[in-house]
C-alpha cells in the first residue's frame, strides 16, 4: 500500500448494561495498543475477554465508553469502506448469486467494468467456479463463509478486520484460505486484525499476537512473531511461540478461578 495507516486504541474501556438488571459488564478496560499498515495482528484469549468488542470498535459499529479509537489521528465514530469486516457468520445477499455477491461492492462503486477478471480470480481462489451461479441458500455454511470472505477482500480495505472468519471451514480448506489471505495481505500490506481461538492460526498468520484476559477484558501480552513467511508449523520456534502463548492463556485462566 502507498499510504501508511496507523490505528490507535488509547485508554479504551467498554461497558455494557444488562437489560434485565442493573448489572454492568466491563468488556474492556484501559486498552492501549498501536498497529499500522504491514502488520497482521492476531487476537487470542478466552471467551468473553473482549476480542470481538475490539474488532467492533475499530469497525465503528460501537463506540468506547471511555477512551479513543482513531485511524491516522481521526476518531472512529462510524463504519467506513476503508475498514472491511468479515464476521463469524456469512452475511450474503440471499437474492444474489455467488458471483454477484462478490461483485456487489465493485458494482455499487461503478468499478465492476474492467475488473471482471478480479471477480473470477476470487471465485477461483475459494474453489467455487462450479457454484458461481448458485444462491446463498444453495451453499453449505463453509462455502458461504468463503464467499463472504472474498467479498470483503475484493475491496482491498486499508484495514482488514477478521472475526474468526475461517471457523466454519474444514481443516484443509482452512489452511488453504489462511495462505490465500496471507498472499493477498502480503501484496497490499494493509493492516489486518484477526480474532481467532486457534493459537496455531494466530502464530501462522500473525506478525504480532495480542494475548487477552477476561473480567475485565485487557491485553496481557504483545508478542512479535519474528518468523518469515511461509511458516513451518512444526519448527522449534513455532512450537516455542505456541507454548509461550498457551502458558499465558493458562495463567490467565487460573487467575479468574
Q: How many helices (H) and strands (E) does the chain have?
A: 7, 10
- Multiple choice CATH, 6-82+159-255, 3.40.190.10, 3.40.50.300, 3.40.1790.10, 3.90.550.10: 3.40.50.300
Provide the 10 A C-beta neighbour count for residue 34.
12
Residue 255: is its pLDDT beyond 60? no
Which residue in 71, 49, 76, 75 sits closest to 211, CA to CA? 49
Distances (CA, A) of 168 to 16, 86, 87, 155: 28, 13, 11, 23
Q: Which residue has the cell 478496560?
A: 29
Cα–Cα distance, 108 to 156 (Å, whole number): 15
Cα end-to-end span (Å), the chain: 45
| pLDDT digits 0-9 by tens, 215-225 | 889 999 999 99
Q: What are phi and psi of 253, to 5 degrees?
A: -65, -40
pTM for the model stands at: 0.87
Grid coordinates given for 10: 488509547
| pLDDT digits 0-9 by tens, 193-209 | 999 999 999 999 999 99
| pLDDT digits 0-9 by tens, 87-134 | 878 889 999 999 999 999 888 888 888 889 999 998 988 889 999 999
242 with 199: CB under 8 angstroms? yes
pLDDT, position 75: 96
**Greater model confidence, 171 or 65:** 65
Q: Is 93 helix (H, G, I), strand (E, B) or coil?
A: coil
Q: List the chain domain ranges.
A: 6-82+159-255, 92-156
Amino acid at each position: 500500500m502507498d499510504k501508511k495507516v496507523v490505528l490507535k486504541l488509547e485508554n479504551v474501556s467498554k461497558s455494557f448494561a444488562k437489560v434485565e438488571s442493573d448489572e454492568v459488564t466491563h468488556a474492556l478496560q484501559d486498552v492501549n495498543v498501536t498497529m499500522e499498515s504491514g502488520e497482521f495482528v492476531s487476537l487470542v484469549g478466552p471467551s468473553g475477554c473482549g476480542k470481538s468488542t475490539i474488532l467492533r470498535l475499530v469497525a465503528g459499529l460501537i463506540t468506547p465508553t471511555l477512551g479513543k479509537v482513531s485511524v491516522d489521528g481521526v476518531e472512529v465514530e462510524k463504519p467506513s469502506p476503508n475498514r472491511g469486516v468479515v464476521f463469524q457468520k456469512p452475511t450474503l445477499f440471499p437474492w444474489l448469486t455467488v458471483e454477484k455477491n462478490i461483485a456487489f461492492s465493485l458494482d455499487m462503486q461503478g468499478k465492476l467494468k474492467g475488473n471482471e477478471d478480479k471477480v473470477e480470480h476470487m471465485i477461483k481462489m475459494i474453489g467455487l467456479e462450479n457454484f458461481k451461479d448458485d444462491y446463498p441458500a444453495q451453499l453449505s455454511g463453509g462455502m458461504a463463509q468463503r464467499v463472504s470472505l472474498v467479498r470483503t477482500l475484493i475491496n482491498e480495505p486499508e484495514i482488514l478486520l477478521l472475526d474468526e472468519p475461517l471457523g466454519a471451514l474444514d481443516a484443509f480448506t482452512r489452511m488453504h484460505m489462511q495462505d490465500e489471505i496471507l498472499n493477498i495481505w502480503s501484496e497490499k500490506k494493509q493492516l489486518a486484525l484477526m480474532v481467532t481461538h486457534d493459537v496455531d492460526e494466530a502464530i501462522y498468520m500473525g506478525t504480532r499476537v495480542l494475548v487477552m484476559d477476561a473480567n475485565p477484558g485487557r491485553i496481557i501480552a504483545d508478542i512479535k512473531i519474528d518468523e518469515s513467511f511461509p511458516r513451518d508449523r512444526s519448527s522449534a520456534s513455532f512450537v516455542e511461540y505456541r507454548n509461550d502463548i498457551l502458558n499465558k492463556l493458562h495463567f490467565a485462566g487460573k487467575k479468574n478461578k
